[in-house]
């Protein structure tokens, strides 16, 4: 663990903590709302080990801040030392097997076979297996499990993972179930060209059919409850379970193929992020939010993160036939994105805008799968999209590259001869 970003001053963060630190009867406290701002900046400023999930980084940073404060004045060095100790303690924990139980707005079918997603094993059930059934404790300080937390019509997904803590297990399992949802919804959504709205244009229905239920639990492999009361507030009601137009067996079969192909993509971690972000973008009734998330995902799938929108559009046009038409559409969508971000300028046409961006994103997801193994990184795929679209220009480049290969081989051979001659003279 090391400081990462020089432009984020750990000295200033440490001084900020020290300024609001108080000690009473040996107990350390931080008496200001800026504590949370400082904590957020601290987490961002650290170069964490990749094996430590985001949610554990938050816990470690908080624990380390209090530990540093208990020893005396907080400085950059004492803060880093405390973080290093907390991080080491976490990494020293042995891995355990956990099962995280979710519900999905999907009518159960035997076609839902067990599957491996990343390193998580997912099994599907028509109801919660008995050993994982949560019973309310009755203690007033414990959250009670709502009667409808796991709707009977929903499919239950048990995600088995190996992790160092219940929090880490929840993070890994959530990633796996979101990857699965992303692929499954992708297969279903590609057939959709319009959405539905309820009670007027201000109440749109979410595009994704397969969504998570409002709760999940983290348990040991034998059913002991490790963590509960994780109630999601994404949906105001449980959506009706999807029957996927009675084509579920075909949809599941296709989704499994897509998942297997995803695993063969050299940049599979980025591919997983694409699926998770796709699932998240189309989960809500707020289509303005969906539009912004999809545009951000378009930047990601084209490998143009942090670059100008001109490059995102240029790379998107590489896959288009009628470039003039699509350039007009993409420029229009970019303007809508800017209006929404900078002016909060909502549009009654937001549904159509969402489906426009969705079509580009879905085509790129398909292309990432279709070219699995051809590109080593997402950036390399993006550079491919950045090539000139003109065929004559591409053919000229091929000739130049072939000549460059021939030339370089010649210079290397020439270099070997020179070295051999010099060694003989020596």
Q: Quick: pLDDT tens for 61-70.
A: 999 999 999 9
Q: Are residues 98 and 85 in the same domain?
A: no
Q: Are residues 8 and 109 in the same domain?
A: no
Cα 97 off chain centre by? 23
Q: Are residues 101 and 212 in the same domain?
A: yes
Rounded to a whole number, what is the distance in angstroms from the first to the last CA of the chain? Answer: 49
In tens, the pLDDT along 313-336 reads 999 999 999 999 999 999 999 988
Check: CB of residue 278 under 8 Å from CB of residue 348.
no
Whole-Å CA distances, 65 to 15, 27, 43, 73, 90? 12, 13, 11, 11, 16
- DSSP string for 329-357: HHHHHHHHHHHHHHH----TTHHHHHHHH
Whole-Å CA distances, 388 to 88, 396, 400? 49, 11, 14
Q: Are residues 101 and 239 in the same domain?
A: yes
pLDDT at residue number 421? 67
pLDDT > 70 in the chain, percent: 82
CB contact set of 379 (below 8 Å; sequence gap of 6+): 303
Question: What φ, ψ does residue 400 adopt, rounded to 5°?
Answer: -65, -45
pLDDT above 60 (res 201): no
Q: Are residues 240 and 114 in the same domain?
A: yes
pLDDT above 80 (res 134): no
pLDDT band at 3 (very low <50, low <70, confident <90, very high): low
Of 35-44, 48-57, 191-200, give the range with the top mean pLDDT.
Answer: 35-44
Flag whether 341 is in a domain: no
DSSP state of 254: H
Check: CB of residue 185 under 8 Å from CB of residue 279.
yes
Q: Are residues 74 and 100 in the same domain?
A: no
pLDDT at residue number 391? 86
pLDDT above 50 (res 139): no
Whole-Å CA distances, 293 to 67, 268, 276, 279, 286? 38, 21, 11, 10, 11
Domain count, the chain: 2
Six token digits for residue 115: 């599957």
pLDDT above 70 (res 239): no
Flag whether 147 is in a domain: yes
- How many CA atoms lie less than 13 Å away from 202 in the CB half-sphere? 0
Flag whether 143 is in a domain: yes
Six token digits for residue 65: 């801040």
User: In the beta sheet, which residues pair with residue 22?
Assistant: 29
C-alpha–C-alpha distance, residues 268 and 372, integer Å:
9
Q: Are residues 114 and 64 in the same domain?
A: no
What three-state secondary structure class fits 124? strand
Q: Are residues 81 and 112 in the same domain?
A: no
Flag whether 360 is in a domain: no
Flag whether 82 is in a domain: yes
Of 50, 75, 91, which one is at a domain's C-terminal end? 91
CB contact set of 35 (below 8 Å; sequence gap of 6+): 17, 20
pLDDT band at 346 (very low <50, low <70, confident <90, very high): low
What three-state secondary structure class fits 114? coil
Look over the chain and give the mean of its residue pLDDT values, rounded to a whole number: 84
Domain assignment of residue 23, given as a range: 2-91
Q: Are residues 119 and 220 in the same domain?
A: yes
This prediction's pTM? 0.84
pLDDT at residue number 9? 87
In tens, the pLDDT along 390-403 reads 888 888 888 988 88
What three-state secondary structure class fits 57? helix
| Pure H helices in 223-346 | 248-264, 268-281, 287-301, 309-317, 323-343
pLDDT at residue number 233? 43
pLDDT at residue number 408? 81
C-alpha–C-alpha distance, residues 217 and 137, integer Å:
14
Flag whether 150 is in a domain: yes
Flag whether 254 is in a domain: no
Check: CB of residue 28 under 8 Å from CB of residue 21.
yes
In tens, the pLDDT along 276-285 reads 999 999 988 8
Q: Are residues 115 and 87 in the same domain?
A: no
Of 72, 91, 110, which one is at a domain's C-terminal end? 91
Of 64, 91, 118, which one is at a domain's C-terminal end? 91
Six token digits for residue 303: 């490998």
Flag whether 132 is in a domain: yes
Q: Are residues 225 and 112 in the same domain?
A: yes
Q: Are residues 15 and 103 in the same domain?
A: no
């Amino acid at each position: 663990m090391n400081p990462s970003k020089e432009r984020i001053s750990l000295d200033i963060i440490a001084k900020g903590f020290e300024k609001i630190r108080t000690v009473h009867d040996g107990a350390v406290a931080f008496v200001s709302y800026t504590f949370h701002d400082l904590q957020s900046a601290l987490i961002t400023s650290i170069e964490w080990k990749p094996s430590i999930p985001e949610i554990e980084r938050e816990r470690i940073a908080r624990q380390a801040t209090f530990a540093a404060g208990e020893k005396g004045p907080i400085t950059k060095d004492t803060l880093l030392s405390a973080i290093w100790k907390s991080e080491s303690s976490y990494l020293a924990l042995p891995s355990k097997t956990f099962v995280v139980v979710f519900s999905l707005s999907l009518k159960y079918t035997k076609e839902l076979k067990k599957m491996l997603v990343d390193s998580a094993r997912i099994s599907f059930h028509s109801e919660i297996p008995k050993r994982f059934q949560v019973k309310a404790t009755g203690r007033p300080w414990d959250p009670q499990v709502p009667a409808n937390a796991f709707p009977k019509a929903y499919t239950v997904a048990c995600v088995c993972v190996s992790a160092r803590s219940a929090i880490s297990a929840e993070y890994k399992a959530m990633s796996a179930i979101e990857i699965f949802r992303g692929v499954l919804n992708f297969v279903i959504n590609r057939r959709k060209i319009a959405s539905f709205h309820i009670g007027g244009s201000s109440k749109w229905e979410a595009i994704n059919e397969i969504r998570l239920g409002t709760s999940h639990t983290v348990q040991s492999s034998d059913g002991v409850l490790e963590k509960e009361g994780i109630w999601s507030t994404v949906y105001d009601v449980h959506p009706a379970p999807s029957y996927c137009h009675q084509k579920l067996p075909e949809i599941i079969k296709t989704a499994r193929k897509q998942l297997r192909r995803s695993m063969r993509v050299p940049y599979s971690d980025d591919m997983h992020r694409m699926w998770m972000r796709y699932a998240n973008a189309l989960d809500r009734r707020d289509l303005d939010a969906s539009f912004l998330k999809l545009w951000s995902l378009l930047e990601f799938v084209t490998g143009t993160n942090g670059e100008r929108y001109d490059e995102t559009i240029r790379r998107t046009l590489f896959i288009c036939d009628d470039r003039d038409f699509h350039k007009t559409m993409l420029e229009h969508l970019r303007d809508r994105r800017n209006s929404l971000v900078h002016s909060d300028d909502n549009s009654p046409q937001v549904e159509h805008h969402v489906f426009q961006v969705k079509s580009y994103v879905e085509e790129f997801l398909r292309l990432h799968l279709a070219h699995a193994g051809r590109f080593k990184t997402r950036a390399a795929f993006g550079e491919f999209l950045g090539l000139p679209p003109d065929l004559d220009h591409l053919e000229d480049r091929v000739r130049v590259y072939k000549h460059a290969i021939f030339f370089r081989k010649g210079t290397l051979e020439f270099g070997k001869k020179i070295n051999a001659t010099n060694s003989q003279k020596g």
